[in-house]
Amino acid sequence: MHLANSVTLSLVCLSFWSAPALAFDPNGWCLPADACMGSMKPISDFGYDDCEGTCRLGAPVEVVGMNATLFDRTCKGDWGANTERVLFIEIGGPDSNQTAFMLTNSGIEELKRCL
């Protein structure tokens, strides 16, 4: 009985420390090229470099019933820093018809798979 309680406690502790699986993980996707960067911007380690700074994604929240995750995006550069909410969503099944988007207050960007 004592062993069963120890195993249960261990499993509960492990569940708190394990990284949560996200409904949609944007890592491995790329933001489109813009005039400033000239090439696609890969998202990795929950962040990406932009022409004038670096953006990090934090505080992920899964959107219930959708293949989407909401993040706090903090961008920093010579101009200062700002934080806003962004939504990453994937539409389509696990085949080649998958499409992903990043939605912000200022617009929608279609993501592409990074090569």
CATH code, domain carrying 93: 2.40.128
Asked if residue 51 belongs to a domain, the reply is yes
pLDDT at 2: 47
Do residues 73 and 80 lie in contact, with contact meaning Cβ atoms separated by under 8 Å? no
Full residue range of the structural domain in which residue 106 is found = 23-113
Asked if residue 6 belongs to a domain, the reply is no
Asked if residue 9 belongs to a domain, the reply is no
CA 100 vs. chain centroid, Å, equals 11
Of all helices (H) and strands (E), which one includes residue 42? strand 41-42
Asked if residue 91 belongs to a domain, the reply is yes
Token pair 């101009």 in the structure block, residue: 79
Cα torsion angle, 54, 22, 96, 86, sign? negative
Asked if residue 11 belongs to a domain, the reply is no
Asked if residue 77 belongs to a domain, the reply is yes
pLDDT at 85: 97
- How many domains, the chain? 1
Q: In sequence order, what are the beta bridge partners of 89? A: 68, 101
* pTM confidence score: 0.76
Asked if residue 17 belongs to a domain, the reply is no
Asked if residue 38 belongs to a domain, the reply is yes
Q: Copy the structure tokens of residue 44.
A: 């990795």
Taking only the tens place, the pLDDT of each residue in 77-95 is: 999 999 999 999 999 866 6
DSSP helix/strand/coil, 9: helix
Taking only the tens place, the pLDDT of each residue in 102-114 is: 999 999 999 999 8
Average confidence (pLDDT) per 10 residues, the chain, 115 residues? 42 39 88 86 93 94 94 95 96 77 96 88
